[in-house]
Amino acid sequence: MSDINITFTILAAVVVLFVWNKIPVELVALGAALGLYATGVLQLSQSLAGFGEPTVILIASLFVVSEGLDATGTTAWAGQQLMLRSGAGGGSRLMVMMMLLVAFLTALISVNGAVAALLPMVVILAVRLGRSPSQMLMPLAFAAHAGSMLALTGTPVNVLVSEAAAAAGAGHFSFFSFTLIGVPLLIGTVVIVVLFGNRLLPNRTVRNIPPDLSAHALTLSKQYLRDQGVFRLLVLAESPVIGRTAQSLSAAQGNGLVVVGVQQGGTGRVSQSAEIAVGDMVIVRGDAEAVESMCSAEWLEILTDNQLVDATEQLFSRDHGVAEVIIPPRSGMIGEVVFSGMVTSSGDLMILAIQRRGEDLGPRNVTLAAGDTLLLQGEWMALGENISTDPDVLAVHDPEMVRRQAVPLGIGAKRAIGILAVMVAVLATGVMPAVVASLLAAMAMVLFRVLTPEQAYRGVSWTAVILVGGMIPMSTAIEQTGAAAKIASGLIDVVGDSSPYALLAGLFLLTVVLGQLISNTATALILIPVAVSAAAELHVSVLPLLMTVTVAAAASFLTPVATPANLMVMGPGGYKFNDYWKLGLPMVLWYFVVVMALVPLIWSF
């Protein structure tokens, strides 16, 4: 069997396995790369070369930058701004603002990242306004696809076609080249949803709704602090607590008081480890009589007349928070004696409250039993690390998820935004290669402590990275063996060679059809060499053909399996498989109109 026939056979197997969806796409991509080596189509270095491509490093780096924005609560803040500014308005105004917001975020942090960040808040907003999430979530995903065409960083496909254009000798697409086509795509998407969305989208009651954690501090305050007050105590010059920490002060209290933390200077964040000084505020939890006794003994002054402060402000801050955990059956903590105010064995967390069957057990010593719930306080990082790795407790909600929703613009948010701004400026001006700029931005996220190395690793979508790295050899084989030229010749035979517009239409249709069945990234890698070969055969510029592949790959609207973003909204939106094409078909037609009308005008043949 010739190399070209082997390539077609492996390609067909890859498409079938992608559509079958029973084997992880990463394994399919890696299997294709190894299959090309085993059959002699590619050398070993070629079959593994995809993982050394600058494109793969660029994509991985952009995921790290995206994680920095999400981890610092920047995307949560953007979602909350949407809720604040459009929640009361509802209707078309809300829909337009939501779609523009997700499109803008997508241009900076990718389709999947933007949809994942905003999905819970859009569901919550829909419920609060008495609307079905099914009326809002598909527009969210579709606007994200349009937003991916606003900038180079919107999707891996943009990066792939830019590199392909350079490799073909036509030069890179610039950072904002995609904006010229992306803006009309986004405008049309918004108009279609506003005019026809109510008739084309289902209106269903949804059972699977993501939790709203934006007011989680208030929920925990009502659950655990309802029988006790939270007080702010001013540290006087004569106080013996000066020089001590909140942790040591809490451990010394034997009257049921829990020292939540210290506000240095009386304002700002609450700390457990900072040394207490004159003028600081000590935040304590307990009953009024015990607080008055402590004030007399420690030379502290209750600040407010009514003695109570908003407990929710003390539970969550940029650097620390609380987590609710359950003692599961067979936990090693069953039988241990604990009390409110006790510091855990790690030294990082403090027990604020203990409940059994919903009843607060107070300040006394408690022998833990299965089913008891504890409210733990500490720095966010300590909460995440201790709870996620401790088999003896179960977190009711992941502290990391709580922090991202409940603490917008948290620690490092300004640094993350600054790093993003610099990266975008560098990419827009082209003063250095895109891969270098994105890699430096990813490194800066760790260097400036926006992310830990572990968070950076977790933030990378390794499925996308391995898929691209594994499919690049397939793209190489399609081009090297002549398979691309053969497909291009077949396409030209079908559409005719009299007009490049017919080729443009045929290439768009082929990309759209394949893109509804398999990943749009994999689709682009398969069809990029076809576009290059077709351009060479007709002696036209490769730029309009590559841009057509890009736009058609973004038109992944007809099935839920076309992109991860489509799948993300399927459950929360209560969608069925056949729901997508009803709104998706007008979107695809609009994308086709834009391709045929604008692409040749901007990038001439």
Q: The domain spanning residue 231 has which CATH number?
A: 3.30.70.1450
Please indicate, yes or no, whether residues 281 and 206 belong to a single structural domain of this protein.
no
Dihedral sign (CA 491, 497, 502, 507):
positive
The reply to whether 52 falls in a domain is: no
The pLDDT of residue 547 is 93
What single DSSP character describes residue 136?
A: T
The reply to whether 51 falls in a domain is: no
Instruction: At 474, list the tokens.
Output: 């397939």
What single DSSP character describes residue 51?
A: G
Please indicate, yes or no, whether residues 242 and 338 belong to a single structural domain of this protein.
yes
The reply to whether 39 falls in a domain is: yes
Q: Cβ atoms within 10 A of the Cβ of 287, count? A: 16
Is residue 252's pLDDT more than 50? yes
Q: Provide the β-strand partners of residue 394.
A: 326
The reply to whether 405 falls in a domain is: no
> What pLDDT, in 10s, does the model give residues 148-174?
999 888 888 888 888 888 888 888 888
**Domain stops at, among 396, 422, 443:** 396
pLDDT band at 232; cut points 50, 70, 90: confident
Task: Return the minimum-mean-pLDDT range out of 33-42, 204-213, 376-385, 533-542.
Answer: 204-213
Instruction: At 322, list the tokens.
Output: 């609380």
Contacts of 499-502 with C-beta under 8 Å, sequence gap 24+, read 500/538, 500/540, 500/544, 500/600, 500/605, 501/596, 501/600
Please indicate, yes or no, whether residues 324 and 428 belong to a single structural domain of this protein.
no
Q: Provide the β-strand partners of residue 284.
A: 231, 259
State mean pLDDT over 164-191: 88
Please indicate, yes or no, whether residues 98 and 168 belong to a single structural domain of this protein.
yes
Instruction: At 300, list the tokens.
Output: 């502290």
pLDDT band at 231; cut points 50, 70, 90: confident
The pLDDT of residue 308 is 42
C-alpha to C-alpha distance for 500 and 495, rounded to whole angstroms: 9
Please indicate, yes or no, whether residues 193 and 110 belong to a single structural domain of this protein.
yes
Angle between helices 399-406 and 380-389 (to 10 degrees): 150
Is residue 446's pLDDT more than 80? yes
Is residue 312's pLDDT more than 60? no
The reply to whether 163 falls in a domain is: yes
Please indicate, yes or no, whether residues 374 and 228 belong to a single structural domain of this protein.
yes
> What pLDDT, in 10s, does the model give residues 111-126?
877 787 777 778 777 7
Q: Which residues of 137-156 are buried (b: 16+ CB within 10 A; e: fewer)?
A: bbbbbbbbbbbbbbbbbbbb
Q: Which residues of 245-278 are buried (b: 16+ CB within 10 A; e: fewer)?
A: bbbbbbeebeebbbbbbbbbeeeeebbbeeebee
The pLDDT of residue 306 is 41
Is residue 218's pLDDT more than 70? no
pTM of the complete model = 0.68
CA 299 from chain centre, in angstroms, equals 48
> What pLDDT, in 10s, does the model give residues 396-423?
888 877 777 777 777 788 898 899 888 8
Q: Which amino acid is at 560?
A: P
Please indicate, yes or no, whether residues 122 and 271 belong to a single structural domain of this protein.
no
Instruction: At 248, list the tokens.
Output: 């040591």
The candidate with the shortest Cα–Cα distance to 259, out of 312, 335, 314, 212, is 314
The mean predicted confidence, pLDDT, of the chain is 81
Q: Which amino acid is at 201?
A: L
Please indicate, yes or no, whether residues 287 and 204 belong to a single structural domain of this protein.
no
Phi and psi, residue 376, nearest 5°: -105, 140
Please indicate, yes or no, whether residues 86 and 194 belong to a single structural domain of this protein.
yes
Q: Which amino acid is at 162?
A: S
> What pLDDT, in 10s, does the model give residues 73-117?
787 777 677 767 765 555 778 888 889 988 988 887 778 777 877
Q: Residue 244's domain spans which residues?
A: 214-396
The reply to whether 165 falls in a domain is: yes
C-alpha to C-alpha distance for 53 and 61, rounded to whole angstroms: 13
C-alpha to C-alpha distance for 243 and 275, rounded to whole angstroms: 5
Instruction: At 190, list the tokens.
Output: 């918004």
- Whole-angstrom CA distances from 566 to 4, 112, 377, 401, 575 are 34, 9, 37, 22, 10
The pLDDT of residue 305 is 44
Q: Provide the β-strand partners of residue 337.
A: 367
pLDDT band at 65; cut points 50, 70, 90: confident
The reply to whether 151 falls in a domain is: yes
The pLDDT of residue 261 is 74
Q: Provide the β-strand partners of residue 233.
A: 282, 302
State mean pLDDT over 268-287: 76
Is residue 221's pLDDT more than 80? no
> What pLDDT, in 10s, does the model give residues 332-366?
888 888 877 677 777 678 787 888 888 877 767 78
The pLDDT of residue 67 is 83
436-445, 488-497, 498-507 — most confident range: 436-445
**Domain stops at, among 339, 364, 396:** 396
Regarding predicted confidence, which is higher, 213 or 355?
355
C-alpha to C-alpha distance for 177 and 602, rounded to whole angstroms: 9
Q: Are 555 and 145 in contact (CB under 8 A)?
A: yes
The pLDDT of residue 186 is 95
Number of domains in the chain: 3
The reply to whether 302 falls in a domain is: yes
C-alpha to C-alpha distance for 102 and 110, rounded to whole angstroms: 10
Instruction: At 36, list the tokens.
Output: 């090309």
Please indicate, yes or no, whether residues 452 and 545 belong to a single structural domain of this protein.
no
The pLDDT of residue 476 is 83
Instruction: At 498, list the tokens.
Output: 């009299």
Please indicate, yes or no, whether residues 384 and 425 belong to a single structural domain of this protein.
no
Please indicate, yes or no, whether residues 230 and 351 belong to a single structural domain of this protein.
yes
The pLDDT of residue 307 is 41
Task: Return the minimum-mean-pLDDT range out of 8-22, 201-215, 270-284.
Answer: 201-215
